[in-house]
Amino acid sequence: MTVPVGPLLMSVSGTPGASAVLSGSSTHWPPEALALARELQRSLSIDDKEWHQVKTHRPRRAAEQLAAALVQLLSADDPKAVTATQARQDAVDLVEHALGWLRAEISDPGCPSHGR
């Protein structure tokens, strides 16, 4: 398996992959990217059962938002588009929300089932 690292594709072991250099003129996402991003998002999503335990864990909340931004880009953006797209703006909004968690600028809004 390879993962993007700067301009190179690196294998998980850290060695360059066979198709090492990514062209700046690439017109599509790597075929496995969306599935991997969705898997990461599912893994990081906070469900009802664990919400009370992790609701104040800032890095976890930020990671959840960052994974959602990645899925948004990979599923709805056209990498060939020169101007900003709605998918890019949605991803930016999610990244900014993640930064708010990391910078302690936002806090948990309260438990939806407790009316707070």
DSSP string, 21-85: EPPTT--S--TTHHHHHHHHHHHH---TTTHHHHTT-HHHHHHHHHHHHHHHHHHH--TT-SS--
Residue listed under structure tokens 């998980």: 12
CB under 8 Å to 60, separation ≥6 — which residues?
44, 46, 54
User: Which tokens in the block code for residue 69?
Assistant: 């931004």
Q: Give residue-wise pLDDT tens across range 73-96.
A: 999 988 888 898 999 999 999 999
Where do the domains of the chain lie? 1-25, 31-114
Q: Are 106 and 94 in contact (CB under 8 A)?
A: no
pTM: 0.70
User: Which tokens in the block code for residue 112?
Assistant: 């939806």
pLDDT at 112 over 80: no
